[in-house]
Amino acid sequence: VVPRLRQAGSRTPLKLVMTVEVGVATTSASSTHPARPSSSSAAHESHHGPSRHGVVRFAGGATLVASAAVSVASGGFCVAQSSSRLQSRALTATATGSQSPVLRSAVASASGLQSAAMGGTGAAKSLFTLTNLGLVAAAIKFSRRAGRLPRHSRDSTAIPCSGGASVKVATGTLATGSSVKCFPRVGMLAGPGRSGGSVAVAASVAEAPIVVADSVRAPANDPRQYRVLQLANGMQVLLASDPTADKAAAALSVRCGTFQDPDARPGLAHFHEHMLFLGTEKYPKEDEYTRFLNEHGGDSNAFTMNEYTTYYFKVAAPHLEGALDRFAQFFVGPTFAESCVEREMNAVDSESTNYSTEDSWRMLQVLKATATEEHPFFRFDVGNCETLGSDNPLGTRAELIEWNKQHYQAGAMRLAILGRDSLEDLEKTAVAQFGPVRDGDGQPLEYSCLPWPKEKLGRVISCVPLKEARSISVCWPLPPPSKHLFAKPENYISHVLGHEGEGSLHDVLNQRGWVDQLSSGSAHTFSDGQLFTLSVTLTPEGDANRDAVLALLFKYVDLVREAGPQEATFKEIAALQEISFAHKEDSPAPDDFAASAAMTLHKYPAAETLRGPFAVDEWKPDVIKEYLESLSSDRCLVFVTSTAFEGEAGKEDAVVKGWQNEKWYGAPFKEEPINEEQLAKWWGQDNEALEASGLRMPEPNRFVPTDFTLRGTVQEQGPLTSKLPTEITPPSLLSSGPFARIWYKTDNAFKSPRQYILGQVYSPIYDESPRAVALMRLFCSVIYDDLNAFAYDAEVAGLGYSLDFADSMSLSVGGFSHKLPELLECLLKRVKTVIEDAETAAGPDGALNERGEELLDKLEVQRQLLIQSYSNFTREEPWSVSQYYTGQIMLRDSWHLSEYLEALKEPFSLTDMSEVARSGLAKTQIELFVHGNTSLDEAKKLSETVTSAFRELGSEVLPEVIKRKVTKLPEGSSTIFEYDLAAENPAQENCCTENVYQVGPVGEDPQRDACIALICHVAGTSAYQRLRTEEQLGYIVQAFTWAEQHVAGLCVLVQGNRLPPAEVDVRIEEWLKSFGRELEEMPEEEFANNVRAIISERTQRMSRLSQETTRHWGEIQTRRYRFDKIARSIEALEALRLPDVLA
């Protein structure tokens, strides 16, 4: 169905209404110009997950939470981090590491939000391709930073409004824990109003706390002081004092999660988490907590996992005590207001409806169905109106209160507080606020059996996804990580099996064109075990050769088992982990640090709270051998997910053949025992072929850094050492010419041995045709694929790289500076080599040589994967589809996904690729930024390496770079765009309404920019309270600053299934009128608080080098060079008055 664009009658000036509907018939009409998204992928071109409000999906199904300032990706506090790889067809993001925080530098690029793994070390590349299958829970989904939703990806640079920080993503890994799945609170953390009585909580008499650890092992460069206490009621508390902190934070983690749901009330733990936000005895007003944080530069969230539930917030440092007072009441005097119960049940039900059309959640439910019914993992734990007892809400409330009394006891809680006060003052505050929490140790994490006893293993599970996807995941139950905390045998196994260097399983499968991604690690961890998983995302050809893939997989596992534990490999892993910890940078968001610390306190000795997740201190070869012996084909679960099963699962005799629909989300699946015939297929493959496959153990890592010498020399305090956005010194212009402009800055503030090189190569090829754009993206993917076996070790050793094409080419290399030049040279050399090899691949008779055949296979694989990614677009969430089309309308002269698909229909030749690559790089302009642990001479050498490489390719000067134009919405009318998503995705139950109210260019009028910032800041809380909490229009409700290139405004987005978009639009308009009155009636003190909150957010001290890199790069890449924009915006905000906003 072709979307319809029409003009409505005069209602709101400069308004765009984007509606994505299900079950709505629309007439078709062609648009005036074919729209074309710009990023390098369907995922990248069309959507990002909500900033701090959802999930960013990578090609292959991997999930990562993106946020305005932080992304959290962890295997549920388990072994490994995301293995999603940079593809020109996917959101540019890579990550290495296992069970330890990894640095990911986010680079705002021409292709939109771009995250490159610039660090992180450790045992393994990891496992988030598993979300293809849902084996890694429908993701760790943090929904945070209320009121802001990320812009869709498109052919433009995401430009912040009114001096705001550049779009950036970095990671903070959450230590250890018990599960990957959690249920977040999306958007603003407010809730329905309160009525009814409070819940009495027994308080203990304040007594002096016990000092459990007077210090905590921390990196040498960590300026904080730490102390761990145990309060009289049994609660352990980590205190972190940082006199320089401008943001404070706290988190409380309870040893209680969905596994503790009553048998008759699935989802109660998740529902309980929601209800705690809806008023307390001391602060009965339902949005008191949220508004306090919002007015003081903070926000909050919570998530429920299998065995733990964690609540956390951040706030401007001077207001920590006030925030803690409100936060502590969650656990001292919750009310579970009667008036809120039914409405919040609806919110949980809406959340569950959202998950029902996400493959990751659907496949997770299939995985649950394979467990024994006697173990709590088997249960449905999201909750919905039926399971929560909506027919008797007061009865459920009574159960909720009793459940709270049993489980929410101080001894089961771990608290982390970060502030700028002294440890002594923080201790007094902790005792005063949390001393009254009910005594007791909660309930033990004990279960009657293991999730997968022996009789549940040795099975093949075939699954049908909603999206086009193909994968195989082999899962083995292992003992819990807690059994060997400081040996981490699962890390060793993950490192070896997940390796992607020469001779690895990934490399051998890739040579055959069968694999897109491979990952390994613990998909789920519990107190009584973990599910170790080796997952392969397949190409179409790999899907057609599943048995051969499995034969190679089991052969490699057998090879690793026979080789036995290798001490040299263990020492390499341990060294990388130590390097990662010794040079650990702080999380960009203090609440992420607090959440991680609170959860780690449950797992590690107090003094090891920070180091524990990194520590690989104990060499236990016998344990590793025991684990390897467990990885057999007769005690595993083999999950095969493929759209190829649709036909079989849809036949009339499907039930007879074993197909069934999963009970809760309806995913079709079939479970069968592994029989002798299948074993024969896997083990009966041609042994000679297997022996000749080249499979071998990993070689020593050549990229492990050993030189951490710092180039910066400034010691005294001043602008050169400042980490404040308003004080940091701008980069210097090293050289400027018509071909290249080179910027650099030596770091003196963060004192980190890391470095980042970011480049943008502008060319006019984007405007040539969709075919040219598609080929440039495929070219980048082929290079990445071709380089992977060599460069994988660099990623494991703390380096990252990217090569991507949106409307221009972007490249980045970053991480530890020691071996960075080698990786940069290798990347640039491979660009040239691939072009030249493609040009010389054919002999006189036209036949391809061996190298030509290899490159042609890679090109065809990437073409198929790009088609798959683009074709899955309409299977994304409605808000994502909505944002894509908003970008298409607002950014002029853009190609549409359908045009790319048309261009990709037929295979390309190597000549096609090399000719377009030559053409795309024939005339260029380059912006380059070298930042971090680099000297002037080193920066010159690195920049010369880049510019010389492009000159060697024949690049000449591009006379002019043409900027994209933004559509100016017609005044006095509403532009309404309607799209019938149900025609493309019948399974989707939700609709989305996205209203954009365009204001105008930013950067021209500082006062107007400040007004936009203030209005959007306040609108976030107001819209959530009205449209979600009170009117229950959908689970996702957000109001935030909309920006496209240099133009900004307000965006309001609602996704749900209660009302059709046209009616939701009416409700948004009604809210907007009331919001105007809300602004008019706002007290001066509240107005001043909100202004200070925005200033606090924008002036938050940076905590890692990549944040500053991203800030400067946002100005360089867009060629604005307004390095002082934050300082300018602060001046305008400080001068802002309420009449200015109302004018």
* 41-45, 115-119, 1003-1007: least confident range: 115-119
pLDDT at 715: 63
pLDDT at 128: 25
Q: Which residues contact 838 (CB under 8 A, 6 or more apart)?
A: 852, 855, 910, 911, 913, 914, 917
pLDDT, tens digit (0-9, with 9 covering 90-100), for 566-615: 999 999 999 999 999 999 998 888 999 999 999 999 999 999 999 999 99
pLDDT at 1021: 92
Determine whether 316 is exposed, middle or buried from the number of CB atoms within 10 Å of its CB (0-12, 13-18, 19+).
Answer: buried
- Quick check: 15 pLDDT over 90? no
**Across 1105-1109, average pLDDT:** 96
- Quick check: 675 pLDDT over 70? yes
pLDDT at 18: 72
d(CA 504, CA 501): 6
Pair of tokens at residue 320: 């920590």
pLDDT at 170: 24
Confidence band (pLDDT; 50, 70, 90) for 533? very high
pLDDT at 747: 95
d(CA 133, CA 366): 9
- Quick check: 84 pLDDT over 70? no
Confidence band (pLDDT; 50, 70, 90) for 884? very high
Collapsing DSSP states into helix, strand and coil, what is residue 994? strand
Pair of tokens at residue 246: 């401008």
- % of the chain surpassing 90 pLDDT: 75
Confidence band (pLDDT; 50, 70, 90) for 522? very high
The residue that leads in pLDDT, 866 or 198, is: 866
The DSSP secondary-structure symbol of 128 reads G
The residue that leads in pLDDT, 1000 or 12, is: 1000
- Quick check: 242 pLDDT over 50? yes
The Cα angle at residue 913 between residues 844 and 887, in degrees rounded to 5: 170
Confidence band (pLDDT; 50, 70, 90) for 679? confident
Confidence band (pLDDT; 50, 70, 90) for 44? very low
Collapsing DSSP states into helix, strand and coil, what is residue 995? strand
pLDDT, tens digit (0-9, with 9 covering 90-100), for 502-520: 999 999 999 999 999 999 9
* Alpha helix ranges (H) inside 545-609: 546-563, 567-582, 590-601
**Across 435-442, average pLDDT:** 96
* 318-327, 404-413, 686-695: least confident range: 686-695
d(CA 332, CA 1025): 24
pLDDT at 113: 21
- Quick check: 33 pLDDT over 90? no
pLDDT at 970: 85
d(CA 498, CA 75): 14
For β-strands 740-746 and 732-736, DSSP reports them as antiparallel
Confidence band (pLDDT; 50, 70, 90) for 687? low
d(CA 982, CA 167): 32
The CA distances from residue 209 to 225, 232, 715, in Å, are: 18, 6, 39
pLDDT, tens digit (0-9, with 9 covering 90-100), for 740-760: 999 999 999 999 999 999 999
pLDDT, tens digit (0-9, with 9 covering 90-100), for 128-154: 222 233 333 322 222 222 222 322 222
The Cα angle at residue 1023 between residues 1020 and 1028, in degrees rounded to 5: 120
Collapsing DSSP states into helix, strand and coil, what is residue 46? helix
**Across 107-136, average pLDDT:** 27
pLDDT at 243: 93
Closest CA to 184 of 67, 359, 321: 67
pLDDT, tens digit (0-9, with 9 covering 90-100), for 792-837: 999 999 999 999 999 999 999 999 999 999 999 999 999 999 999 9
Pair of tokens at residue 890: 């607002």
- Quick check: 1096 pLDDT over 50? yes
* 50-59, 368-377, 525-534, 703-712: least confident range: 50-59
- Quick check: 373 pLDDT over 70? yes
pLDDT at 589: 87
What is the pTM for the complete model shown? 0.84
- Quick check: 155 pLDDT over 80? no
- Quick check: 1131 pLDDT over 90? yes
Confidence band (pLDDT; 50, 70, 90) for 682? confident
**Across 685-709, average pLDDT:** 84
Closest CA to 173 of 97, 67, 253: 97
Confidence band (pLDDT; 50, 70, 90) for 1045? confident
Determine whether 751 is exposed, middle or buried from the number of CB atoms within 10 Å of its CB (0-12, 13-18, 19+).
Answer: middle
**Across 357-362, average pLDDT:** 95
d(CA 444, CA 895): 57
Pair of tokens at residue 939: 């920066």
Q: Average pLDDT, whole number, for the chain?
A: 83
What per-residue string of b and e applies to 172-199 under the rule 16 or more CB within 10 Å gives b? bbbbbbbbbbbbbbbbbbbbbbbeeebb
pLDDT, tens digit (0-9, with 9 covering 90-100), for 171-216: 222 232 333 334 444 433 223 233 334 444 444 445 789 999 999 9
pLDDT at 689: 61
The CA distances from residue 408 to 209, 268, 269, 333, 988, in Å, are: 20, 13, 11, 11, 37
